């Protein structure tokens, strides 16, 4: 079933793909519309990736016209199929199909591909109104997102479907390339997908043998079909990616294999139809140029000028009426479901619309007040578990997990039930040692909707999953990253496991809200903030070691949600303000007491979330941190990001070197994280300034 032609005339073969049915244009001509729009947009931009859209156009034509359930006029319809373009450099394939099928995109927008302010981006950027389910570009992550979306579909189906009513029943399709499969995240996610037997996940591998540097046989010699068979996937190998009949047969086989995910390995020609450069890396990441674009037009029998699509082709592609019927049919089924199962229907709509349950605010207030009244001393990783046990019964959408550190992260709570292929109704996933895969799959779950994923690992191992955390920020996804063992306080495991630069690094990510709570109360407030936030991710930074409870007034408890607040000495004019986070707040409190005993007024400011504090109004920020005062920041991590809070007259008491293998107590003493050392650092600042 592999392509028979590998010559410059590949666009002129005569086979079923070129034959029309009645007055309908041939499948090849419909696919050529994608090729032309992709080629024209890249030419107009003078940059882009024409090769992949031209190579996968025949596959896209079959998928969109014969299988994909979508509605251009109702793009947010809950039970639509999900499509992800993991090889996102070929974004013009997705935007071309959006235009052809009738989404709200105009041809003038295609002419502004890759331009400032254009929705038609160089890599797909999440826009549900254009049929773009997630942002892709970093190779392999779209594939992992697809696994997460399939997990979300299975989770929701188990929660809401009934024997006489299926309201969640859709597939997840993903296009992927050689680069996706070379990236390690593909192994993590696809191994997990096989174990979980995600039968509604279908991937199309664009096996064109080319990447930027040339023919991949020099650096990628994996037997991909056997690799995926070893994962437990159903594999359809050696499919001619330019033969609609072969593609259809492969899709039918994949859709029938509901007991496992499927990979369709499509042999394609990159840049198909460009007679002088097809099958070469020259088509991968640059415009073809005017002469080759003209030659491709002639070779494919497309006589029209750039961006012009004939009426018969536009009509054949137009999916608006078909989509309206699909969405309306589902809405009718859902209306029947509402009559039979009104409470479940209301809960489904609440979750899919990302709404909090009725009475949530009162429940959260009561849980936080109860936590404050208990006043327990405990590690914030355990406080996190306690917060989950307070909140989770109200929030069935919370789907937790850990990268093989469940007992250390304390992500499994009393109401957790492990999810698996045999038990799809659970709310907890054992991801195994797959930090990157876990985080990218969580992003896919969040992008799907209806679930709020949280996943745990050690803070230092956030390095493994860093790009997935960045993508959550870029897209604005509600993924909650539980990152424990947050400093040298983890002790004997040594510098390989002791985070130093990680707090500052994560705080630098735009849209990331990082909370480093100092006790049970701040931990509960941090969890509440993460749950209520819908437009971006949250990192919860938690200790291994026990931390004492800090006494607060009700007003101070309310102020925690503002990211930074005065914990002590709020009335006096302080000689120095001690700003601290997490485990160092107790040191600031102790140092303030020691300084106070010596007649030095010291204010303590707890700053669990700098991003939220920075978003407060100027008057509040000036109230907490009076301008011009002497300030000392205390945090057991890199100092770099704190100087803007310390100011010209202040200092930062941190760690700018790697740690050592030793128990926590001598490590904290070595690096000056004791009450006495902090008090002395404050005295020196006051004297020097």
Q: If you ran DSSP here, which 8-state letter would residue 661 be given? A: S
626/609 Cα distance (integer angstroms): 18
Q: Which residues contact 359 (CB under 8 A, 6 or more apart)?
A: 394
641/242 Cα distance (integer angstroms): 53
For helices 435-448 and 466-475, angle between their N-to-C axes, nearest 10 degrees:
20
Coil, strand, or helix at residue 267? strand
Q: Which residues contact 35 (CB under 8 A, 6 or more apart)?
A: 53, 54, 57, 272, 273, 296, 300
492/636 Cα distance (integer angstroms): 16
79/339 Cα distance (integer angstroms): 19
In the chain, the largest separation of any two C-alpha atoms, in whole Å, equals 95
Give one DSSP letter per residue of 553-617, joined into a string.
-HHHHHHHTTS-EEEE--SS--SEEEEE-GGGHHHHHHHHHHHHHTT--EEEEE-S-HHHHHTS-
347/356 Cα distance (integer angstroms): 10
Q: Which residues contact 11 (CB under 8 A, 6 or more apart)?
A: 32, 272, 273, 275, 296, 299, 300, 301
- The tokens for 502 are 């990680």
Q: Is residue 435 annotated as a catalytic residue, yes or no?
A: yes
Q: Which residues contact 438 (CB under 8 A, 6 or more apart)?
A: 188, 401, 402, 403, 431, 455, 457, 465
Cα angle value 436/352/91 (rounded, 5°):
55
Q: If you ran DSSP here, which 8-state letter would residue 356 be given? A: P
499/459 Cα distance (integer angstroms): 7
Q: What is the chain's Cα-based Rg?
A: 28
Q: Give 611-615's long-range contacts (Cβ < 8 A, gap of 24+).
A: 611/507, 611/512, 611/513, 611/514, 611/563, 612/513, 612/529, 612/561, 612/562, 612/563, 612/564, 613/562, 613/563, 613/564, 614/563, 615/563
Of these residues, 153, 435, 594, 635, which one is catalytic? 435
554/450 Cα distance (integer angstroms): 34
What Å distances lie between residue 674 and 54, 589, 637, 660, CA to CA?
64, 11, 15, 17
Q: Which residues contact 472 (CB under 8 A, 6 or more apart)?
A: 439, 442, 443, 446, 479, 481, 512, 536, 537
Please tell me the total number of residues recorded for the chain in this structure: 689
* Closest C-alpha to 132, from 186, 175, 179: 175
- The tokens for 123 are 């890599």
Q: Which residues contact 280 (CB under 8 A, 6 or more apart)?
A: 210, 214, 270, 271
Answer for the pair 383, 523: CB distance below 8 angstroms, yes or no: yes
* Closest C-alpha to 139, from 190, 182, 105: 182
Q: Give 341-346's long-range contacts (Cβ < 8 A, gap of 24+).
A: 341/162, 341/165, 344/160
- The tokens for 119 are 């929705």
CA dihedral 632, 633, 639, 644 (to 10 degrees): -80
Residues labelled as active-site residues? 435
């Amino acid at each position: 079933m592999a392509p028979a032609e590998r010559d410059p005339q590949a666009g002129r073969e005569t086979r079923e793909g070129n034959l029309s049915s009645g007055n309908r244009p041939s499948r090849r001509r419909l696919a050529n519309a994608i090729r032309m729009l992709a080629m024209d947009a890249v030419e107009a931009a003078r940059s882009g990736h024409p090769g992949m859209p031209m190579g996968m156009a025949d596959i896209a034509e079959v998928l969109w016209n014969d299988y994909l359930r979508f509605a251009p006029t109702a793009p947010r319809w809950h039970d639509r199929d999900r499509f992800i373009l993991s090889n996102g450099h070929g974004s013009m394939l997705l935007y071309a199909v959006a235009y052809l099928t009738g989404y709200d995109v105009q041809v003038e927008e295609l002419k502004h591909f890759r331009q400032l302010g254009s929705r038609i981006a160089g890599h797909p950027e999440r826009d549900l109104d254009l049929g773009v389910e997630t942002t892709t570009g970093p190779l392999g992550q779209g594939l992992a997102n697809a696994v997460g979306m399939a997990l979300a579909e299975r989770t929701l189906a188990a929660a809401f479907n009934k024997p006489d009513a299926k309201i969640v029943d859709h597939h997840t399709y993903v296009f992927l390339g050689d680069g996706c499969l070379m990236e390690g995240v593909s192994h993590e996610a696809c191994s997990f997908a096989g174990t979980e037997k995600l039968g509604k996940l279908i991937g199309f591998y664009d096996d064109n043998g080319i990447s930027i540097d040339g023919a991949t046989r020099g650096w990628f010699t994996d037997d991909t079909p056997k690799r995926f068979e070893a994962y437990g996937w159903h594999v359809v190998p050696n499919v001619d990616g330019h033969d609609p009949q072969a593609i259809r047969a492969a899709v039918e086989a994949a859709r029938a294999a509901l007991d496992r995910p499927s990979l369709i390995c499509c042999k394609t020609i990159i840049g198909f139809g460009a007679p002088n450069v097809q099958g070469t890396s020259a088509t991968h990441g640059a415009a073809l140029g005017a002469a080759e674009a003209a030659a491709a037009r002639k070779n494919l029998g497309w006589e029209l000028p750039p961006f012009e699509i004939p009426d018969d082709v536009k009509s054949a592609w137009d999916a608006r009426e078909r989509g309206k019927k699909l969405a309306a049919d589902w809405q009718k089924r859902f209306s029947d479901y509402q009559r039979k199962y009104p409470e479940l229907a209301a809960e489904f709509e609440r979750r899919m619309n990302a709404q909090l349950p009725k009475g949530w605010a009162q429940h959260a207030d009561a849980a936080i007040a109860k936590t404050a009244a208990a006043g327990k001393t405990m590690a914030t990783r355990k406080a996190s578990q306690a917060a989950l046990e307070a909140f989770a019964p109200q929030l069935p959408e919370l789907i937790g997990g850990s990268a093989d550190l469940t007992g250390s992260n304390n992500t499994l709570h009393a109401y957790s039930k492990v999810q698996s292929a045999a038990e799809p109704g659970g709310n907890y996933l054992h991801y195994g040692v797959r930090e990157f895969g876990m985080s990218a799959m969580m992003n896919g779950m969040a992008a799907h909707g209806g679930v709020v994923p949280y996943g745990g690992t050690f803070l230092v191992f956030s390095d493994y999953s860093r790009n997935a955390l960045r993508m959550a920020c870029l897209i604005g996804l509600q993924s909650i990253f539980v990152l424990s063992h947050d400093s040298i306080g983890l002790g004997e495991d040594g510098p390989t496991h002791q985070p130093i630069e990680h707090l500052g690094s994560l705080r630098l990510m735009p849209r990331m809200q990082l909370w480093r709570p100092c006790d049970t109360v701040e931990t509960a407030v941090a969890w509440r903030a993460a749950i209520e936030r819908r437009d971006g991710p949250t990192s919860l930074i938690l200790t291994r070691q026990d931390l004492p409870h800090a006494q607060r007034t009700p007003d101070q408890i309310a102020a925690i949600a503002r990211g930074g607040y005065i914990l002590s000495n709020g009335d006096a004019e302080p000689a120095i303000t001690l700003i601290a986070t997490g485990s160092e707040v107790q040191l600031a409190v102790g140092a303030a007491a020691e300084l106070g005993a010596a007649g030095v007024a010291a204010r303590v400011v707890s700053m669990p979330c700098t991003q939220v504090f920075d978003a407060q109004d100027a008057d509040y920020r000036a109230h907490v941190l009076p301008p011009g005062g002497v300030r000392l920041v205390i945090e057991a991590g890199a100092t770099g990001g704190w100087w803007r809070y310390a100011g010209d007259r202040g200092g930062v008491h941190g760690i700018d070197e790697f740690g050592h293998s030793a128990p926590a107590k001598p490590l904290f003493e070595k690096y000056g994280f004791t009450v006495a050392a902090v008090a002395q650092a404050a005295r020196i600042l006051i004297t020097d300034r």
